[in-house]
Structure 1
Amino acid sequence: ASLLSLPNEVLSIIFENPKFPADYLCILAVLCRRLHFLALPIYFARNSMPSPQKSVVISLHPDGMDMLAALNMALFISTMEDITCIFPHPSCTSIFPLLPHLCRFRSFISRFPSVKSVTLQLDARNSMCNAAGDDVALRAWSSTLGALLNTLVEKRCTDLTVRYGGYLTRSYQLSSGKTKRAKRVLKSIKKLFRRSGGAMAGKGWEFRRAADQGRERALTSVSSKSSRPRTLTSLRIQSAVLMTPPCLNWTLSALRFCPITSLSISQISLENELWKASLTLIAKACPKLTSLSLSELETISDVEILKFCSRLPRLTSLRIGYNEEARGTPTRCRNGIVPEFRTLTSLVAPANFILYFL
């Protein structure tokens, strides 16, 4: 008798036996529809995914032999609610081995009419590999990550988290103009970026491409136009990638063109001047923000935290994390702007911050 002559009940008993090789389940799943709908759910259950339509955590492998390949063949998965994708660490000398994995995940997401909650873990925590790159690397990284992020937005993602990674975060430098000529150039650059929808400069400073790496800016952004309403309301930034150019521009455009009301920034280390510039731009992009969380931010001054909060007058919920072992947001308030929270209903912060507000 052949395998297909057995009833489904017997096949299920065979497939669920721990001694039956898991890899065989994937092979059987491509032979015919009947085995597909029997074997693949058991394969997912063995890999701690009893309900892949509801919640999955995928760790991508450099060789592509991972759970994403199995999920991609599943005919019975038509929706995806909560998905976490952990990308493999690329070569420490090149960003390019990572890019095909971003494309793979983007292709997978494109299958669905919508996704709800997505977490992208770009690298291991505290990794700063490939922080610099030439124009070719910058252009490839910016366009590939931007395409993935924009696909998530277009697929009506409501909750997006981006974790870790320092890719191309040192491809730009913060420059200040001191001479009259520099001020004129800065003014022209600011006008240019306003026309193109970007805003990568402020009063007396601008983000400028690192001269020793290249000249191309290669900024990525969310389009101001969309074929259907966007639903991204919560953005959690746990990666310096979205706090520095070129992808900071995507963050700013998402805050402008998506109905984001909740923003969380955590587990990031930047130089204090970069914090000042990035938070200034973010505050301008999201004046209607109602919920803000700041925690585990290294080398940021309490003054910058207060200034940032003061630029968000519509906050109803504010959370400032504690300082732990010389890491995280400072807890001693010095000279700064006292925010006027006229609509605030929830405040969680170190005692010194709360006393300062009072």
Structure 2
Amino acid sequence: MQLRGGGIGTAGATTNDNGETTNPTALSILAQQWCQFASKNFFLLGMFVAVGLARAFPLLGRSGGVLRAELFIGKFGVACIFLLSGLVIGAVRVEASSFQSQTQHIRLTDHLWPLASLVNMCVILTTAAGGSVATALWNAVISNLAGIFVTPILLLRFFGKYIQLPFIDMIVKLCSQVLLPVAAGQTLRHFGGKEIYKKNAKFFKRLQEVILLGIVWNAFCNTFAGSGLGLELRHALTLSILIPAMHLLSLGVLFRTFSLPIFKFTRREVVAAMFTASQKTLAFGLPLINTIFEGAPNVAAYCTPLMFVHPLQLILGSLCVPRLSKYVEEGDEEAKIVT
């Protein structure tokens, strides 16, 4: 039986081909609601599934196993993610008249918060709070690209004495597995790739999420097939307390910093700078970790804090949106009075 007439109406009824009205059962409505919830939260739920499968069947997805996950996910999958990133990055455009001021904002947020790389989430939160979307977009593009070069330098600076980091090999690997696919994505935009991406944006977004989940699955399979995660309960509890505290602190410090008169930022720009400088990307972070620490036994432990941060920064950022929206509106009212 095919359904028509707009599907489920206000009363939960459906109409079939004969014009007959039928009422769905409570179970079917619940199943529909669950499917909608799962679709909207596909990646978050997928992380739990990926880790659970890795724990139950660690030998299936480990590197060197039957499925050769390290090849199809660790190499081809990562290359595909950065290829798609090249297509997306090329889509961002800001009017030439605002280029100089936006470039200034990029320098400020990058210099004051150099350890933070950005994700589309910062643009979403900025938009919801009424901030400057142009500033958020510029920061997201430039900081993601800069992160490719800055990340290995920071790792060498802070952890070079404690972990093995062959710097030259790392740079070569990042160039071949990250920069080359990004450049290829940029090139493809001029040969029909732009239109293809626009027509299939939802598919490519879901493909990227599936690949990222594959990286998580492969990393945790390697861990559970070896000596385990290496993360004790007390450490996990510490992370669950420390990460939210650090994120809230960073939001507060950045907000106060960018509000200083010396920067001459509007309130909309303050909101954008605060969000873009505090967000840490999962879409870029996981592939970079997988590329830099390929073959390392503790790669899953390196991924764990980022997996904590991903849903956390969306929750905390969303809680800040109403207050920030009021802050922006008050600034608009003050500007009207002055003019």
Same-fold call, TM cutoff 0.5: no
- The TM-score range, normalised by the shorter chain, is under 0.3
TM-score, normalised relative to structure 2 = 0.24
Higher strand share: 1
TM-score, normalised relative to structure 1 = 0.23
